[in-house]
Amino acid sequence: MRELSNFLLGPQIHLVVRRDYLYEDALEKLSGELNLKLKLRVQLVNAAGLEEAGVDGGGLMREFLGELMRTAFDPNRGLFRCTHDRRLYPNPAVSQLPDYGPLQAARQYTFVGRMLAKALYEGMLVELPLAHFFLAKLVSPGRGDLDLHHLASLEPLVYRNLLFLKGYPGDVAELGLDFTVLSSQLGHSTLEELKPGGASIPVTAANRIEYMHLMADHLLNAKLRQQCLAFRQGLEELLPPHWLRLFAPHELQVLISGAQSPVDLEDLRQHTHYEGGYTADHPVVRAFWKVLEGFDERQRRLLLKFVTSCSRPPLLGFKVRRSITLHCLLHSGKAEHLEPLHTDLEPQFCIQSAGAEPGRLPTASTCMNLLKLPEIPDESMLRDKLLYAIESGAGFELS
285 and 390 in a single domain? The answer is yes
Domain end: 72, 100, 121, which one? 72
Confidence of residue 47 (pLDDT cuts 50, 70, 90): confident
Tell me the pLDDT band of 96, cut-offs 50, 70 and 90.
confident
Q: Which of 228, 310, 350, 367 is catalytic?
A: 367
Cβ neighbours of residue 209 closer than 8 Å, sequence gap 6 or more? 166
The answer, yes or no, to whether residue 60 has pLDDT greater than 90, is: no
Range of weakest confidence among 30-39, 65-74, 162-171, 305-314:
305-314
Is residue 205 predicted with pLDDT exceeding 80? Answer: yes
Domain-located, residue 141: no
Question: What Cα–Cα distance (Å) separates residue 70 from each residue in 64, 66, 174?
Answer: 10, 6, 48
Judge whether 91 lies within some domain.
Answer: no
Q: Please choose, from the candidates 154, 200, 151, the residue with its C-alpha nearest in 3D space to the C-alpha of residue 177.
A: 200
Averaged pLDDT for residues 358-378: 86
390 contacts: CB under 8 Å, gap ≥ 6? 299, 302, 303, 305, 306
Residue 86 lies in a domain: no
Q: What percent of the chain has pLDDT over 90?
A: 58
Tell me whether residue 229 is in a domain. Answer: no
For residue 4, pLDDT beyond 50: no
Q: Is residue 38 part of a domain?
A: yes
Asked whether the predicted pLDDT for residue 388 surpasses 60, the reply is yes
Between 333 and 243, where is the model more confident? Answer: 243
Is beta strand 323-324 parallel, antiparallel or unpaired with respect to 273-275?
Answer: unpaired
What is the distance between the alpha carbons of residues 72 and 77, in angstroms, rounded to a whole number? 7
Of 157, 187, 222, the residue that ends a domain is 222
Taking residues 126-152, report their average pLDDT.
94
* pLDDT tens digits, one per residue of 254-290: 999 887 888 999 999 999 999 999 999 999 999 999 9
| C-alpha–C-alpha distance, residues 347 and 18, integer Å | 25
Are residue 269 and residue 393 in the same domain, yes or no?
Answer: yes
Q: Quick check: 94 pLDDT over 70?
A: yes
Q: How far is CA 290 from CA 185, 273, 285, 378, in A?
A: 53, 17, 9, 11
**What does the pLDDT look like over 284-295, one tens digit per residue?**
999 999 999 999
* Domain presence at residue 127: no
Whole-prediction pTM: 0.80
272 and 168 within one domain: no
Nearest alpha carbon to residue 138 among 237, 226, 248: 248
Sort strands 396-397 and 323-324 into parallel, antiparallel or unpaired: unpaired
**Active site (annotated) includes residue 350:** no
- Is 80 exceeded by the pLDDT of residue 78? yes
Q: Residue 46: give the domain boundaries.
A: 1-72
The average pLDDT across 344-369 equals: 82
- Say whether both 216 and 286 belong to one domain: no
If you compute the radius of gyration of the chain from its CA atoms, what whole number of angstroms results?
A: 25
Is 286 in the same domain as 186? no
- Provide the domain count of the chain: 3
pLDDT at 386: 94
Handedness of CA 16, 17, 18, 19 (dihedral sign): negative
Q: Are residues 174 and 270 in the same domain?
A: no
Q: How far is CA 352 from the centre of its chain?
A: 28
Q: For position 9, what pLDDT does the model report? A: 55
CA–CA–CA angle 132, 134, 137 (5° rounding): 110
What is the per-residue pLDDT across 328-348, written as a single tens digit (0 to 9) for each?
444 444 444 445 455 556 678
| Inter-residue long-range contacts of 95-103, CB under 8 Å, 24+ positions, other chains counted | 96/185, 96/186, 97/186, 102/226
CATH number of 166's domain: 3.30.2160.10
Give me the chain's average pLDDT, please: 86
